[in-house]
Structures are given as C-alpha cells and as structure tokens.
Amino acid sequence: FVSDLALESNPSDHPRASTIFLSKSQTDVREKRKSNHINHVSPGQLTKKYSSCSTIFIDDSTVSQPNLRSTIKCVTLAIFYHIKNRDSDRSLDIFDEKSHPLTREEVPDDYYKHDPDHKHIYRFVRTLFSAAQLTAECAIVTLVYLERLLTYAEIDICPSNWKRIVLGAILLASKVWDDQAVWNVDYCQILKDITVEDMNEMERHFLELLQFNINVPASVYAKYYFDLRSLADDNNLSFLLEPLSKERAQKLEAISRLCEDKYKDLSKAAMRRSFSADNLVGIRRSNAILS
C-alpha cells in the first residue's frame, strides 16, 4: 500500500504536491531560455503567432474544437517530457507493446530504444479522442491517472510501454468523466487489432495498480489545469480551456467517487467468485481422494 507520506508527495492525490510533468519539463525550458539569451532572442519572438482582424493562424486539426485541440497538445507534451526525461525504464509486462501489440504490424526489435516525438504522441491521443468523442476535461483526468499509475506502481513511461499506459489512462478517464462512456469494445473498433480480452485485462491491471483509487478531487484537477497552462506558456502553446465551474467540479468529485465504489464492489465480487470456485475445486478434489 502507498504510505501517507507518499500520498502527500503524490501530485495526483495531494493538491499541494508539484506535478511530475512540470518538473520534468523545466530542464528543457531552462536550456531554451539559456539558448535564447545567448543568441539574444526573446522567448516566443520568432515562434509565437497572433491573430488579427485579417489573419487567423490555425494548425493541423479541426478548428471546431479549439479547446480539445489545445488541451490534447498540452497533455501530450506533458507525456513527451515524462518519456524524454524519465529516470529509468522500469515497466510491467501488461504494458509492454512487444508482449501485447496494439496492431498486427510486427513490433521492431529495437522498439524500446527510440523515444516518440511530440507529434507522434499527439496523433495517437487525438485519434482516440476524436473517434470516441471525448472532451478536453477528460484529457486532464487522463494525465492525473497516468501520473498516479507511475507513482503507485513505481514504473516509468518509456518507448516500450507509452501507448498502452496512455490507452489505459484514457479508457479509465472516459468512463469516469464523460457522460457517454466508451465501452472497451468501442476502442477495439478504433484500434482494430486489439482484442476485448486484452483491453479488459489491461483495465483490470490498471485499476489494481491504482489500488482502485480513481477519485479526482477538484483541487487536484485545478492544479493540473494551471500547471498545464504554465507548460503551454513555457512552450509557446495556446491553452484555451476554461477552468471547471463549481458545478462541474462537484460533478467530477461525485462521479469519480461513485465509480471508485463501483469498481471496488466489482473487485470484491470477483474475488468472492474466485474464492468460491477455488473452494469448489478443493472440495471436489478432496471427495475424489476420499472415494
């Protein structure tokens, strides 16, 4: 179990603990500022673009959902820094893409050596969010669950596991936050080659590693929201999503607590069924031996 001290230093549980992604991004931010200072370039001078009455700058995604687009860009940048500035390559088999491939394409032998770039991560997440019609707020909850998993399970997100960890976090966040939850079989329609059994097994492991703690307090969500805004400012990205209203914040807390209780009940029921089945097998074996 995670100790009280660990919980207090865990940003996904405690509102005063610093988010991991922001601290991991600071090394690169300092290097950029140092380079700009040496070359006498003010931050954002050449890269940041502004809209005027006659000119509107857009990017490679749909203009109809700017909140979703900008939020996914910031969340995937946070994931990029997690991978780029990771401490090690600690992982678990359930998240390894070689052991559990997401497509029928053969996974290269050196799959664990090459860090994905930000665009690659963004395209993967954007595809899932667009196909499943998930919201921008769901992207922030995804990041909360991702950092909680890394802390609780004491693993790193790295080239060999990032897709399955991100997929697991999105799967859980969509069921907790969005009004129309996407079923595991729906993700199989999106990813085509992954099986429902694999999705169910990954979800079960994800929940167990989180110790079924899927509650997201409004204060924790707010911290991630403002840290993502800071990350966006540091990297000259726009962040258009508005903070949660009081009603939406209360909804997040209520739904996440409700889902947590539901998952715990399902786990207890599954354990009881497993225990009963084991006992039945034991009784049959004993009867066979006695007879």
Q: Using 50, 70 and 90 to split pLDDT, how confident is the model at 37?
A: low
Instruction: Note the pLDDT of residue 41.
Output: 52
- Residue 253, SS3? helix
Overall average pLDDT of the 35-47 stretch: 53
Asked if residue 133 has pLDDT above 80, the reply is yes
- 126 CB-side CA count, 13 A: 21
Overall average pLDDT of the 226-245 stretch: 95
The Cα–Cα gap between 48 and 10 comes to 33
Asked if residue 63 has pLDDT above 80, the reply is no
The per-residue pLDDT of the chain, averaged, comes to 82
Nearest to 14 by CA among 207, 151, 206, 117: 151
Overall average pLDDT of the 225-248 stretch: 95
List CB contacts of 245: < 8 A, sequence separation 6 or more: none
CB atoms within 10 A of CB 103: 12
Q: Which of 68-82, 193-207, 257-271 has the highest mean pLDDT?
A: 68-82
Q: Using 50, 70 and 90 to split pLDDT, how confident is the model at 289?
A: very low
- CATH number listed for the domain at residues 65-267: 1.10.472.10
What is the value of pTM for the model shown? Answer: 0.81
Instruction: Note the pLDDT of residue 290.
Output: 37
Instruction: Note the pLDDT of residue 283.
Output: 39
Is the distance from CB of 57 to CB of 51 less than 8 angstroms? yes
List CB contacts of 43: < 8 A, sequence separation 6 or more: 32, 33, 36, 236
Is the distance from CB of 211 to CB of 152 less than 8 angstroms? yes
pLDDT more than 70, % of the chain: 77
142-190 pLDDT, tens digit per residue, is 999 999 999 999 999 999 999 999 999 999 999 888 766 667 777 777 7
Asked if residue 5 has pLDDT above 50, the reply is no
Every domain of the chain and the residues it spans:
65-267
Instruction: Note the pLDDT of residue 13.
Output: 92
78-106 pLDDT, tens digit per residue, is 999 999 999 999 999 999 999 999 988 88
